[in-house]
Amino acid sequence: MDLVEAMRVAVSVAQRKSFISASRDLDLSAPSVSRIVADLEADLGVRLFNRTTRQLSLTDAGMEFVQKSAGLLEELDHMRGAIRDRNAAPRGQLRISCVTAFGNECLAPAMPEFSRRYPELDISIDIGNRFVDLIRDHFDVAVRVGPLRDSSLIAQKISAQRIVFVAAPSFCQRYGTPKTVDELGSLPSVTQVSGEWGRTHRFSHHGKIVDFEVPQHVSMNSARAVRNACITGWGYSLLPDFMVANDIEEHRLVHLLPDHEPVEQPILAFYAQRQYTPEKVRVFVDYLIEAFNPKNALALG
């Protein structure tokens, strides 16, 4: 006896409340359906259906068997679909929401290579710091600075950012190079604040945790705007390390207080919990891990 086929037959008979209707749905003869149910009952040693000339109903044992069978069959169908998807090229639309700084500086340059690998995907990226509801707003993936606050989502770490103190050389010429956070706190600043984010940053200094409350002499909600303003020399800034690495290397900016080690902030890809993750989401998240893992040598231009 094929147990999976028998389960499908029993579920169909229960749903249709008729052997004949179930036979039509399953493209089997009515005698075959009757025989499969009889063989199943003999194998289980219980009656699953009460049969009369007018009515067909489930026994208590039949109710339990059909409910559990329906769940198992659904699981099997999902699993089969997921395995089949792995062998098929992802296609359709992939909608992504990404925080501004990481989106502008890191994700955008990485996307042409992803598109080259998966040409049948149409990719739409919304770059901004507003909160999005993945289900309500119809996004497949959201890239955010952690932590995970919604237990209905899956979070996968793809990178990290460290917020560093920077200033233009002309700022240091005017004010000197600050040696402590107290010195720095008295000087003009241009900083990024977005909602509650950016008002306080945490550092480790000689083994002690230091929470630096950011003065808001001039604040903006765009890291790129802050960086451009900082380069003028008017004030110092706190910016993600990935955003200012080239500026520091090329001496447009100076890394201040290098003995203050920034506490790492994880950058996470969030997606909805499902029994089986859609292939387009799986390959995108895998690509992000590959692209932004410093141990990998993926060239992004």
* CATH number of residue 138's parent domain: 3.40.190.10
Helices (H) and strands (E) in the chain, counts: 11, 15
Same structural domain, 169 and 142: no
Same structural domain, 269 and 154: yes
Which candidate, 119, 162, 159, places its Cα nearest to that of 143? 159
pLDDT in tens, the chain (301 residues): 899 999 999 999 888 888 888 888 889 998 998 999 999 989 999 999 888 777 888 889 989 999 999 889 888 887 777 676 665 678 889 999 999 999 999 999 999 999 999 999 999 999 988 888 888 888 999 999 877 666 678 899 999 999 999 999 999 999 999 999 988 888 999 998 876 677 888 899 988 998 988 887 898 888 999 999 999 999 999 999 999 999 999 999 999 999 999 989 999 999 987 667 888 999 999 999 999 986 654 444 3
Angle in degrees, CA 238, 241, 246, rounded to 5: 110
Same structural domain, 147 and 183: no
pLDDT score at 163: 92
- Alpha helices, DSSP H, located in 166-222: 169-175, 181-185
Rg value, the chain, Cα = 30
The domain boundary residue, chosen from 59, 86, 113: 86
Number of domains in the chain: 3
Determine, yes or no, domain membership for 62.
yes
Determine, yes or no, domain membership for 219.
yes
Determine, yes or no, domain membership for 299.
no
The 10 Å Cβ neighbour count of residue 143 is 22
Which candidate, 188, 162, 193, 190, places its Cα nearest to that of 175? 188
Determine, yes or no, domain membership for 301.
no
Determine, yes or no, domain membership for 297.
no
Give residue for tokens 């499908």. Answer: 8
Same structural domain, 140 and 207: no
Same structural domain, 154 and 274: yes
Same structural domain, 154 and 269: yes
Same structural domain, 57 and 105: no
Same structural domain, 219 and 106: no
Same structural domain, 82 and 227: no
pTM above threshold 0.75: no
pLDDT score at 86: 62
Q: What is the CATH number of the domain that holds 193?
A: 3.40.190.290
What is the extent of the structural domain holding 198? 163-262
Same structural domain, 147 and 220: no
Same structural domain, 151 and 184: no
Which candidate, 155, 239, 154, 251, places its Cα nearest to that of 191? 239
